[in-house]
Amino acid sequence: MTNPRREFLRKTAVLTTSVLTISQSAHAQWLSDNFSPNILNDIAKSDIIDTDKIEIKLPKIAGNGTAVPITVTSSLDNIQAISILVEKNPIPLVATFRLSSQLEAFVSARLIMTETSDVIVLAETRDGLYRAKEQVKVIIGGCGT
Amino acid sequence: MSSIKIRTKRMNDKTQIRLLIAHPMEHGKTLDKITQQPIPAQFIRVLTVTCNQKVVVSCEMGDSAAKDPYLAFILKGGKAGDKITVNWLDNLGNTDSEEHTIK
């Protein structure tokens, strides 16, 4: 485990949890680095295992890209975080959910999609990063243009 | 009135938590139809869900999340009387929180 990015992620996770346990009003850190257009390149550098143990429920065709419902479930053990990314959005990362051990590996949300694109789900476990992909066809994009 | 609606449903040994938050989630690229000026960005950055004072979900969101975010999670266990609190912080520094008791 010498990957600097993973080390960094783990440190922020530890920091976040410690801050949150000390003070309830303190929020998790929002890192602008993660919400930049370059995150896909950053991810490509880290080693990710493609898996079929992450199940993504998405419509195949979305009439309107402003609210695409997504449900992610997984049978992987020890999931610490689930991230949802839309490949062709200006800012690909939609959200990162850090789940405690009290929660099932289940997340449901709604996302904006500007155009037909792959939706990538990354699951961070103690053993590494896992990835699953699904394509959604968008008829009307959700970026106001 | 709070911007957060929390609904919980107990299913066997699990509890489903559903959240609906009223928030514009503007990503700053939409143009105002009348003035043709971009509408300034306003979106939730961090959202935390706690169960009995323990953080169960901490979520960092970007501007690709849809308007009026809907989120759902499933809690292992959970019994009547457990307190769920949700709070969020957006990029302009606004915050809101809401408490809910599992029935």
3-state secondary structure chain A: CCCHHHHHHHHHHHHHHHHHHHCCCCCCCCCCCCCCCCHHHHHHHCCEEECCCEEEECCCEEEECCCEEEEEEECCCCEEEEEEEECCCCCCEEEEEEECCCEEEEEEEEECCCCCEEEEEEEEECCEEEEEEEEEEEEECCCCC
Residue A23 is predicted with a pLDDT of 40
Distance from CA of A80 to the nearest CA of B (A): 10
Domain holding A22: CATH number?
2.60.40.2470
Residue A144 is predicted with a pLDDT of 53
- Tell me what the mean pLDDT of segment B56-75 comes to: 90
CB–CB of A91 and B72 under 8 A?
A: no
B42 touching chain A per CB within 8 A = no
Residue A25 is predicted with a pLDDT of 37
Does CATH number 3.40.50.150 belong to domain B4-101?
no
Residue B99 is predicted with a pLDDT of 92
- Tell me what the mean pLDDT of segment B11-40 comes to: 88
CB–CB of B65 and A98 under 8 A?
A: no
Low-confidence ranges of chain A (pLDDT < 70): 1-2, 8-29, 142-145
Residue A21 is predicted with a pLDDT of 44
Rounded Cα distance, B18 and A71, in Å: 13
Domain residues for the domain of A126 are 4-140
Whether residue A145 lies inside any domain: the answer is no
All residues of chain A having their beta carbon less than 8 Å from the beta carbon of residue B36 are: none
B11 class by beta-carbon count within 10 Å (0-12 exposed, 13-18 middle, 19+ buried): exposed
**Number of folded domains that form chain A:** 1
Distance from CA of A124 to the nearest CA of B (A): 14
Residue B63 is predicted with a pLDDT of 83
- B62: nearest CA partner in chain A: A94
Whether residue A70 lies inside any domain: the answer is yes
In chain A the first and final C-alpha atoms are separated, in Å, by 44
Largest CA distance in chain B: 54
CB–CB of B77 and A95 under 8 A?
A: no
The model's pLDDT over A29-54, given as tens digits with 9 standing for 90+, comes to 677 777 888 888 888 778 888 888 89
CB–CB of A100 and B14 under 8 A?
A: no
Beta carbons of B58 and A28 less than 8 angstroms apart: yes
